[in-house]
Structure 1
Amino acid sequence: MEQVATSLGEPVLRAVASLLAPVDAELARRYPGDPGTRQPVHTVYVPAYEFTAQTVRDWGRRALEALDDHAPEPAALAEVLGLDEELAEPVYARVRAKLESEPVEDLRIDFEDGYGACPADEEDADAARAARLVAQALAEGDGPAYVGIRTKCLEAAVRDRGIRTLDVFLTALLAHGPLPPGLVLTLPKVTYAEQTGAMATLLDRFERVHGLPHGRLRFEIQVETGQAVLGPDGTATVARMIDAAEGRATGLHYGTFDYSAALGIAPAHQSSDHPAADHAKAVMQVAAAGTGVRVSDGSTNVLPVGSTRKVHEAWRLHYALTRRALARGYYQGWDMHPAQLPTRYAAVFAFHREALPTVAARLAAYARHTGGDVLDEPATARALSGQLLRGVDCGAFGIGEVARLSGLTRADLEAFAAPPYTGAESTPAGPGRDRGAGGPLSAP
């Protein structure tokens, strides 16, 4: 091979590397990228005094009853939601299967707004009971993939109570065995970055007391106040909150009604599609980008209860808001009633199934360098594979369907979604090219 001439030698490369070493370290610390783990499509909040070991099963049963009562066959649900005729059968079948097998993906036992103020000994007992029932539900196979508690916030008036409830719950949970892998803790009504820093300190202390690995305990940040989005110095507080959490933040959850009320929005207009909500979530999305922290949309308080006409109206609203959030890159939301589960899963499944043929074809063309009518870049390939993985993980379709349409395995998708060189715009090699270590394509 012909030698090429250069003007800059190895000392220059070392000098630049030395200059940028602190930046490299900061990039790695602050922006590690998506963790590559499953993200639940929703979070269900249940007041602590209502939680039982059968809560997930009960929600599934009640959701199926709502479906049987108000949309007993695919055509009925398709008519209510405006589903394409080709989607009606597979979406309906998968919704029913989901409600039977995994009706709740993420459950939060609530000791905050949904719980209220109780005598100290009563809340202590409820926290210990919640831990015992979580352990029981998981042992019996009735627990969701993700489960945890939301305590009271760290503002002065309720700080000690929130910390004590967290301590009682975690201590009792450990008494029943190892902490569940899907354990999730939620810190509400955060206004200052120092509060997420304090939460990180609390969890670090608990880990030390019990000999847990550093970083085992992590938490979500609820964005429910104007101060969480824009601080008094004009900066995006939510970005500082992520940094102050010292790697323990896993999510930013938008609180529709607290945030709207804090901004003075009238109750009739407090919705996740209000311009103020769009602004808050856009700031959250940018602040979280690349950090590994995921953003969750809020909820609608219009419940599908009462007559079939009222249920259908609430379903159409919930379906539309969920589809709107998905299109904006918010893949998780809150559900407040069992009868919202049919439309949560119908929206998620329809969103992914509609896109499946096109997304699979585009990723296959990119992987094999065969071209097509869309010129995709590595960043888009990551997004394409990420969408296919989300669809598989939630149950919208199976990996077999993806393989038939694209020829790609799950390992291929994961390699495209998380390339070996973080931040590098390198093109994964396709057939006939040297893939090297960590190449995304399986052997033909």
Structure 2
Amino acid sequence: MRTSLDDAVLRAVDESLAPVDEHLARAYPGDDGTRQPVHTVYVPADRYHAGLSREWGEQALDALEQAGGTAALLDAAAVPEALRAEVATQVEDKLRREPVEDLRIDLEDGYGDHGDDEDAVVFAAAQALRRELDDGTATPFVGIRFKCLERPTRVRGLRSLDLFVTALSESGDLPDGLVLTLPKVTAVEQVEAMVGVCAELERVRGLRPGRLRFEVQVETPQAILAADGTAGVARMVHAGAGRVSGFHYGTYDYSASLGIAAAYQSMEHPAADHAKAVMQLAVAGTAVRLSDGSTNVLPVGAADQVRAAWALHARLVRRSLERGFYQGWDLHPAQLPSRFAATYAFYREGLPAAARRLRDYVARTEGAVLDEPATARALAWFLRRGLDCGAIGAGELQDSAGLTLDDLDGLLGRR
């Protein structure tokens, strides 16, 4: 068939768009396909010790028993009746086997200002983590939140970061799941400065270039809307030079900075939804992941108070999942049951439809829904996340979708 555009025209288009192609490939590489934890647990650095995760699991199980058992939890979390037996078993197993997926040793708000005494606390934390790494009991993801790069805390924060990385690297290899958290970021230049700090630590410690990455906590209005009218988070993604691994929404610092009264500060406040929508747009297509924040309503006190807090927490976890935020913060052991109950119910409830649609897509079968390749990838991501957290088993994937783990990873470009 005759066409109108000759080879010279096509070559000219290729040449003119080459810089754009290069930029898109570099700036929007897509998710790297590795596991993302469903939550981050923050623990004050002076309370961290080897075995803490196991203790949190035991305390979570005790809270479960004291508040009426698994049945009471599933009632509070509004888990559908058809899913209750499976979710109950999975939650109890998770609390015994892997109660904490991502542990953050906190040297910021949860720890406070202790002056030079912080040095000893940082070193002790690095030693305790090394013991857990050596005996195989460390959480899959672990790291520190050091003080922010604002002028009053900058030197202290960077000193603690240096002490931690130095002590950990001198005692052995850094863990694959190491996470560094930069809080209260107010300017793109702070992200750029952190990139330089990471590069220098790598040089001095003989680490592979790019080994150190960090997550940014979005807790200030300047991170969402900069003085020049741009979305600060969008610029931070690319200023991170591939080192920014995630954006974590800070519920209470952000809300307070906007003047929202304490009684109305929440993960579901309209201001929170706006900030998180901007974050979501900023990271789309990049390798940066998102985490929602926390609720400070803790499941403590009388049994009815615990169940009410579970109900709130589970609803907020489900809300985040439905909006594409697959991670959140937990602040207390008794929040673990509602975190996992809501998370497992989300994946198990969606499993039949997701498996059917993906099976039809792979087989090129015409089903009730005609899915595009992008949606098929989203379906594969849904199933992969469910597998990673333990909500879905590999055998179930084969039975329901007719897919192996290799098949799923192929759809995600993980192999």
TM-score tier (shorter): over 0.9
Tell me the C-alpha RMSD between the 2 structures: 1.1
Partner of residue 92, structure 2: 96
Q: Which amino acid in 2 is paired with 1:280?
A: A
Please report how far the alpha carbon of residue 127 of structure 1 lies from its aligned counterpart in structure 2 after TM superposition. 1.0
Identity %: 59
> How far apart are the structure 2 equivalents of 1:228 and 1:24?
28
Counterpart residue type for residue 329 of structure 2: W
1:222-247 deviation digits (Å, cap 9, x = unpaired): 00001110011111001111111111
- Could you tell me how far 1:115 is from its partner in structure 2? 0.8
SS at match of 1:64: helix
In 2: Cα distance, 1:404 partner to 1:71 partner? 34
- For 1:15, give the aligned amino acid: A
Give 1:111's aligned amino acid. L
The amino acid that maps onto 1:188 is: P
SS at match of 1:198: helix
Aligned-partner Cα distance in 1 for 2:68–2:182: 37
Note if contact 1:322-1:348 (Cα within 8 Å) is conserved in structure 2. yes
Of the three residues 24, 36, 39, the one matched with 2:36 is: 39
Aligned to 1:198: 193
Shift of 1:408: 0.7
Aligned residue for 2:121, secondary structure, equals helix
Q: Secondary structure at the match of 1:115?
A: coil
Match for residue 357 of structure 1? 352
Find the partner of 2:8 among 1, 8, 11. Answer: 11
Cα offsets for 1:250-271 (capped at 9, x unmatched): 0000000000000000011110
Native 8 Å contact 1:250 1:293 kept in 2 = yes
Aligned length: 415
CA contact (8 A) 2:291 2:327 kept: yes
Matches of 1:108 and 1:342 in 2, distance apart? 19
Q: Which letter maps to 2:345?
A: A
- 2-structure distance, mates of 1:394, 1:292: 20
For the 8 Å contact 2:61–2:92, the answer to whether it is kept is yes
Letter in 2 for 1:378: P
Is 1:82 the counterpart of 2:97 in the alignment? no
Question: How far did 1:138 drift?
Answer: 1.7
What displacement does 1:76 show?
A: 2.9
The structural deviation recorded for 1:276 is: 0.4
Give the aligned partner of residue 142 of structure 1: 137
Whole-angstrom CA distance in 1 between matches of 2:259 and 2:42: 25
Residue aligning to 1:70: 67
Unmatched 5+ stretches in structure 1: 420-437, 439-444
Q: Flag the structure with more relative contact order, 1 or 2, with Cα contacts below 8 A and sequence separation at least 6.
A: 2
Q: Could you tell me which of 89, 102, 109 is aligned with 1:106? A: 102
Q: Confirm or deny that 1:309 pairs with 2:304.
A: yes
Q: Is the 8 A contact 1:381 1:417 kept in 2?
A: no
Contact 1:256–1:272 (Cα < 8 Å) also in 2: yes
CA distance in 2 between partners of 1:203 and 1:15 (Å): 41
Secondary structure in 1 matching 2:69: coil
For 1:13 and 1:65, locate their aligned partners in 2 and report how far apart those are by CA, in whole Å. Answer: 68
Deviation at 1:81, TM superposition (A): 2.3
After superposition, residues 170-249 of structure 1 pair within 5 angstroms as: 170-249=165-244
**TM-score, normalised via structure 1 length:** 0.92
* CA shift digits 1:296-332 (9 cap, x unpaired): 0000000000100000000000000000000000000
Q: 1:71 to 1:88 in 2, by over 3 A?
A: farther
SS across alignment from 2:128: helix
Q: Secondary structure, in 3 states, of the residue corresponding to 1:217?
A: coil
**Displacement after TM superposition at 1:284 (Å):** 0.3
Gaps (5+ residues) in structure 2?
none
Correspondence for 2:329: 334
Residues 1:168 and 2:193 aligned together: no
State how far apart, in whole Å, the 1-side matches of 2:274 and 2:75 are: 33
- AA partner of residue 118 (structure 1): H
Give the TM-score normalised by structure 2: 0.98
State the one-letter code of the partner of 1:165. S
Conserved in 2, the CA contact under 8 Å of 1:382 and 1:418? no
Counterpart residue type for residue 346 of structure 2: F
Rounded Cα–Cα distance in structure 2 between residues aligned with 1:406 and 1:418: 18
Name the SS of the counterpart of 2:353 in structure 1. helix
Structure 2 residue 20 is matched with structure 1 residue 23: yes
Query: Cα deviations across residues 131-157 of structure 1 (Å, max 9, x unaligned)?
Result: 111111122222110000000000111
Q: Partner of 1:429 in structure 2?
A: none
**Distance in 2 of aligned mates of 1:265 and 1:411:** 48
> Is the aligned partner of 1:379 residue 2:374?
yes
C-alpha distance in 2, partners of 1:200/1:179? Answer: 18
Q: One-letter code of the match for 2:342?
A: A
1: CA distance between counterparts of 2:257 and 2:278? Answer: 17
CA distance in 2, matches of 1:81, 1:36: 29
Q: Give the 3-state SS of the residue equivalent to 1:212 in structure 2.
A: coil
Corresponding residue number in structure 2 for 1:418: 413
Aligned counterparts, 1:289-304, within 5 A: 289-304=284-299
- Cα distance in 2 for residues equivalent to 1:340 and 1:207: 36
Deviation at 1:210, TM superposition (A): 1.8
The yes-or-no answer on 1:281 pairing with 2:276 is yes
CA contact (8 A) 2:73 2:338 kept: no
> Aligned residue for 1:403?
398
